[in-house]
Structure 1
């Protein structure tokens, strides 16, 4: 685990079979934390071509398996319909588990439980 102390919150990042545990200062931006840790939320094509965290391009999507409810309008819609949430619009304020998404540009929709 990176960092220590009571002034951090745990962040678990799942990337395929890899699991990374980070300790993050509360309030940090999830996208920035991921990039600093070498865990890019971007596809190869969008690593350089993105909006730099302004919530406009929807290329930094991750699946939040455990963590805060959506607050940004895009995240609310994405969460409702099973799409990845924008890591640039999420603050790490509580313990979280996020999954990096395999994608060409944007992440695909997860099937709803009713359709399985």
Structure 2
């Protein structure tokens, strides 16, 4: 980008709080990144042992990178909207991290994750 300052400002940095095991894990990242990418770079996989190797690579078609979003982040992908509506984990590959958010990695899932009643 010629003529533009490409350095990230503090306004571009957001925090993802991940509940997994033990204490919450805080990950700082820049806005607009895929939650799936952010998790994988932090060695926190949204996959099961099987789906870690058999997945679509973040294209939103295999439904194996589900996480529980504990904030009001609005789903944009059709699969993600249905998951949110019916209480299934949402696809981390289809969530752009635009603001601070809190998520939970799904511990017990066969491929995609069990349903959780809406509150």
Indicate yes or no: 2:111 matched with 1:108.
Answer: no
Specify which of 14, 17, 23 is matched with residue 19 of structure 2. 14
Matched with 1:44 is: 49
Provide the C-alpha distance between the structure 2 equivalents of 1:17 and 1:95, rounded to a whole number of angstroms: 20
Matched with 1:71 is: 76
Unaligned runs of 5+ in 2: 1-8
**4+ residue runs of structure 1 moved beyond 6 angstroms?**
none
**TM-score scaled to structure 1, two decimals?**
0.89
Matched residues, number: 110
1:27 Cα deviation from its structure 2 partner: 0.3
RMSD: 1.4
1:19 Cα deviation from its structure 2 partner: 1.2
Query: Residue by residue, what CA displacement relative to the aligned partner does 1:16-44 show, whole Å, maximum 9, x if unpaired?
Result: 33410011100011000000000000001
Matched with 1:23 is: 28
**TM-score scaled to structure 2, two decimals?**
0.87
Unaligned runs of 5+ in 1: none
